[in-house]
Amino acid sequence: MDPITLSLVTVGLLLALIGLGLPIAYSLAIATLVMMAISGEAEQALFIAESAFQSLDSIELVALPMFIFMGAVIAISPAGKDIYRALHRLLPVPGGLGVSAVGGCTLFSSMSGSSPATVAAIGSSAVPEMIARGYPPALACGIVVGGGTLGILTPPSIVLLLYGVVTNTSIGQLFMAGILPALMVAALFSAYTVWSMWRFEKANPQIRQAMLERDRSESEAPLALLRVVPFFVMILVIMTALYGGWATPSEIAAVGAMASIALVLAIYRVTDLHLWKTLLLKTVRDTSMILVIAAFSYYLAQFLSYHGAVTAISEGLIGTFGNKWLTLLALWLMMVAIGCFLPPFAIVVIVAPMFLPFVLEAGFDPIWFGVLITLNMEIGCITPPLGINLFVVKGIAPQLPMRDIMLGSLPFVAILVVASLLLVLFPQIALWLPKTMMGS
């Protein structure tokens, strides 16, 4: 079986197993073992445990459970609600409430690194508040669904961390490269929100007046801002230490996890032991799930690489399209399609090692490519059938039909497509900060 056919059959089998409801990790393992048997290499299955163990033998992966735990700890506190309230009072413009939600998602995601956690933390207060103040329900949901995607791009990003590990790329530079694209996406989301609400308020002036009167009756924002300042200082210190080379990502993640515990205990008095036990168990489950998927993805990549599939795919893509930009477009469309079915961390550990040879051969920067595919996977977070952000918002606003939530999210999908195009046309959006700050 030639390498290209082998790859197509393997991926087809993998998707079929996932479609049947088998967990992603088991689907990866079974697809690899079946293809080994078909290729006459059944005896190689004896080394699956050794290969899986070796793939996880990386000190950088120690940062993974620490960042997951740090995000979970912050998510249980009212920090998201406080961020939202504080920003809202600072933005007295049409759509200011929505812009506050986008800003809250941007800031909270820098503490959690998780898209669903960001949606849950900000959306739990933002969606009901926006609807209560007269925002169109579809727009209110779309703002939070879209804003939550910043959780996998804003550092510390678990997706960028995994990309750095599987491609042997600097995690510090990847985190730095994600900052400006995240701010660009947040600015585009905010601009669309202001424009939409300006049109809506112009057609419904009584809505604007009701919002202003309600704002004047609230006085909690200054206190809310004071409560979240220590969290911002913590993130600033963590990022400074990481980008300044003062410590490794694993050491910084451990410090961040301990600091988040101390801040949540001191500021919000979260002392429920059962809750802390639940957090620890959740961290173990999430970390184990991601690492098992990463291990079997590595095993699959090794099998395909041994048969020359990775090189054949890279050469075949360029040969088929005859142009590196058309090839990049094909990869982008492929990842959008895959993102509708698989979570971002699964995509990055499967796809990144497979397409990295093409990226290097075509002369693209691997750090830029990491940010591009992460931005690409944000689209998957808000598109069905997986679209996890859609389901989180549906849980926050169960009275709204899923159709309205999806329709409200479509403009934000379009904005993410525009942001991807801008990143392709102007790669310095991602590369300027790491090159300037870290001299790469």
Mean pLDDT for back-to-back runs of 10 residues, the chain (440 residues): 75 80 81 84 73 70 75 71 67 73 79 71 77 84 87 79 84 87 92 89 70 54 70 76 71 81 84 82 79 76 70 64 77 76 74 79 88 84 72 81 86 92 92 76
342-367 pLDDT, tens digit each: 777 777 877 787 788 778 877 889 99
Determine, yes or no, domain membership for 158: yes
**Are the C-beta atoms of 389 and 115 separated by less than 8 Å?**
yes
CB 301 within 8 A of CB 55: no
Which residue range(s) make up the domain with 362? 56-271+307-438
How many angstroms separate the CA atoms of 95 and 200, rounded?
9
Alpha helices in 1-114 (DSSP H): 3-19, 24-38, 48-55, 63-76, 79-90, 96-112
Total domains, the chain: 1
pLDDT digits (tens, 9 = 90+) for 100-131: 888 878 877 776 666 777 777 777 777 887 88
- Amino acid letter at 373? I
| Residue 82 located in a structural domain | yes
Length of the chain measured in residues: 440
Asked whether residue 321 is assigned to any structural domain, the reply reads: yes
* 98, 143 contact by CB (below 8 A): yes
Question: What pTM was computed for the model?
Answer: 0.74
Whether 13 is covered by a domain: the verdict is no
- DSSP code of 42? G
Q: In this structure, is residue 95 part of a structural domain?
A: yes
Confidence at residue 181, expressed as pLDDT on a 0 to 100 scale: 92
Residue whose structure tokens are 């993974």: 64
Residue 191 lies in a domain: yes
Q: Report the number of secondary-structure helices (H) and strands (E) in the chain.
A: 21, 0
134 inside domain: yes
What is the predicted pLDDT for the residue at 187?
A: 92
Is 375 within the bounds of a domain? Answer: yes
CA distance 176 to 433: 6
Sequence-ordered alpha helix ranges (H) in 217-343 = 221-243, 249-268, 273-306, 309-321, 324-339
Please, what is the Cα angle at 345 between 17 and 304, to 5 degrees? 55
Which distant-in-sequence residues (6+ apart) come within 8 Å of 335 by Cβ?
347, 351, 373, 376, 377, 380
